[in-house]
Amino acid sequence: MIDWLIVGAGLYGATFARELTDAGQSCLVIDRREYIGGNCADEMICGVRVQRHGGHIFHTNDKSTWEYVNRFADWWHYRHKVKVNYQGRIYSFPINLMTLHQVWGITTPDEARERLQQAGKNGHSLKRWAIAELGEELYYTFIHGYTAKQWGRDPDTLPASIVQRIPIRFTYDDDYFSDTYQGQPVDGYSAMIGEMLRGIPVELGQDFDLSRPNPARHILYTGPLDALFSNEFGTLQYRSLRWEYEQHESDYQGCATMNYTDADVPYTRIIEYRHFMQNPPRNTVIAKEFPMEWHPGREMYYPVNDEPNNRRANLYAAQAKRLGIETGGRLADYRYYDMHQAVAAARKHAERVLNG
């Protein structure tokens, strides 16, 4: 009998498997998909490395996490750039001095602070908080339409926490992330995760079922807990996504991501994958990203972390704990993880089980 059955060959499962294997434990990794990498997985289309589940950029302030992923891939110094298309005009984003100059003609940090401080700070909904922080013009230009499309709900009914992590900069810095360590793996995330899983048995196209015989002493489950327990406490809700791909002969938009914030444009952004590559070909592949309501059979991307869903998720987590099943990752934890957070959480999880 092996020591660990790890359900899920994404970033969390691969990190956990690597740590346990290096500590002398025997592991088997299975995944319901026919490829490794989870939502980080990529593939080559006409010479362009396309990330199958939307754009992924690794960024972290944690040196240990950065050094860890550098064990499994060579990285290049990619800095993510995002622009906003609103009513046919292009704006710098995240909101910075150039953005405020484009909207209001502002040229100095003091002017920017004074203009933004004219609004009061009140309200806990996303819409009220954002208007209080930014004013109505910036809110409707950059936030309202995009958020309504992304979540399929009126922004006045959403928590402010969704947008509170979007920075406002009083400089001309338009890097999307401000983390110390940022980059893209030269050969992509699938290759990186393949290196993490080197020497570890992996079976693809294999779903996990509690009713089947278990070949391991311990289980780490990274999938959706409601499915594991046959929706005993109700179905957990998510938002889903789909992409429409196009090929073009040359650079399409001049940046990796263009957000479309008009409410009447059905997609939220266009991702141009050649910009994620260190040495891209001349041709390009773009993906228009469309948010969708989730229902069984569609991919689960963003958990709807309202009170009823979080309560259900806690019931499922308690059930797994009672059965001695370890859980972790974006789906099993029912929370959104950036990639660096998934790696760090999996390493801590592995350390915890190894130390008993």
Q: What is the DSSP letter of 125?
A: B
Which region, left, alpha or beta, applies to residue 230 given φ > 0 means left and ψ of -120 to 50 means alpha?
A: left
What is the crossing angle of helices 97-104 and 109-117, to 10°? 70
CA dihedral (216, 218, 224, 230) positive or negative: positive
Angle at 115 between CA 112 and CA 120, to 5 degrees: 125
* Contacting residues for 83 by C-beta, under 8 A, at least 6 apart: 90, 91, 92, 93, 253, 255, 257, 258, 259
In degrees rounded to 5, what are phi and psi of residue 210?
Answer: -60, -25
Any idea which residues carry the catalytic annotation? 165, 169, 239, 269, 289, 336, 338
Q: What is the distance between the alpha carbons of residues 106 and 101, in angstroms, rounded to a whole number?
A: 4
Element housing 311 (H / E): helix 307-322
**Taking the C-alpha atoms of 253, 254, 256 and 259 in order, what is their torsion angle to the nearest 10 degrees?**
-50
